[in-house]
Amino acid sequence: MDNSVLVENDVARPEAKTSVKATTAAPVLQVRNLEVTYYTDAGRAKALDDVSFTMPAGQKMGMVGESGSGKSTLALAMMRMIKEPGRIEQGEVVVDGTDLISLNEEDMRRARLSKIAYIPQGAMNSLNPVMRIGAQMVDAVQSHLPNEKAAAINERCMHSLASVDLDPKVFRMYPHELSGGMKQRVCIAIGILLHPQVIIADEPTSALDVVTQRQVMETIDRVQAKINAAVILIGHDMGLMAQFVDRVAVMYAGRLVEVSSVREMFTDPKHPYAQALISSLPNLENKGVFQGIPGLAPSLLRLPSGCAFHPRCSKVMDICKTKRPEATILPGDRSVMCHLFDGEA
């Protein structure tokens, strides 16, 4: 989503959600030490670097960061959809006790949609224009449940459409007969057909107008509450995220530099990059004037030494230029990768 949408949507800094679900529940998702490298002619680019986090069922986490920070790579790695010249070098993605990375191809194909669903960026444009919505939904179910009776499949599809507030007649319609928001809701309906425990939605509201964005987010909210899935929302729009997620994870140069509850992230961000992201949001004090973050995101082919954020950081210290910070766990189940917090665990 471009910044103009963000500005339009956030003339005043939004109130972050106050009710944050407890993070002490048993995790349904555990990502451990996930690492992805792209081997290009220009060199090796580490797109995901030792990424670890956990989520309990029913939690929504917003994944934010500039373009190229690794958000979409993380989603693709979790789905085992990284293509050559990329490679998952190491790590685990454990959903409800099953490590997806160690599954064979056939078991992983079954796990997609049934354990973990991915609603890719621009999903609404990936609907087949010459097939009715119903046929596309039925295909998705049949590829996972080949023995399910036609009546049961139809009922499952209708139930899924109802969950996203779409009229049953959408089942018989073609994509071109639907608005952008309706198509995006169809994609969500397909994503939840098999009640996955984890749903990843990559920029689910991009290319939608502000009112439709909110409707789509409310749909995700409702659906998530119904099937109690852990939901990862990838996006740029911190303002929209603030109103819908429980936790926020900030990515920079392939690393998760801060993970905090949404309230803490908006009221007391710890990592200097997270602080810069929050203060770049228009608010009533700065009268909606957009403040950028100095410098550019680094090329993954030539990452700065030490902390990759150090050339842009207003709090840089000598150690930052030579030593890479590791994650420090702070009270309140927060984690931050910054030398300012070394020894504060």
Binding site for ligand SF4 (CB under 6 A): 271-272, 307, 309-310, 313, 315-317, 320, 325, 338-340
192/307 with CB nearer ligand SF4: 307
53/309 with CB nearer ligand SF4: 309
What is the closest distance, in whole angstroms, from the C-beta atom of residue 308 to ligand SF4 in the complex? 8
Q: Is 87 helix (H, G, I), strand (E, B) or coil?
A: strand
Distances (CA, A) of 307 to 79, 271, 295: 28, 12, 15
As a whole number of angstroms, the distance between CA 88 and CA 128 comes to 30
Over the range 181-213, which residues count as b (16 or more CB within 10 Å of their CB) and which as e?
Answer: bbbbbbbbbbbbbbbbbbbbbbbbbbebeeebb
Q: Is 262 helix (H, G, I), strand (E, B) or coil?
A: helix
What is the closest distance, in whole angstroms, from the C-beta atom of residue 335 to ligand SF4 in the complex? 14
What is the closest distance, in whole angstroms, from the C-beta atom of residue 53 to ligand SF4 in the complex? 19
70/191 with CB nearer ligand SF4: 70
17/270 with CB nearer ligand SF4: 270
As a whole number of angstroms, the distance between CA 202 and CA 233 comes to 6
25/329 with CB nearer ligand SF4: 329
What is the closest distance, in whole angstroms, from the C-beta atom of residue 283 to ligand SF4 in the complex? 23
Taken in order 16, 22, 27, 30, is the CA torsion positive or negative?
Answer: positive
DSSP of 139-175, one letter per residue?
HHHHHH-TTS-HHHHHHHHHHHHHHTT--GGGGG--G
What is the closest distance, in whole angstroms, from the C-beta atom of residue 50 to ligand SF4 in the complex? 15
What is the closest distance, in whole angstroms, from the C-beta atom of residue 323 to ligand SF4 in the complex? 8
User: What torsion do the CA atoms of 218, 223, 224, 225 make, to the nearest 10 degrees?
Assistant: 90
8/318 with CB nearer ligand SF4: 318
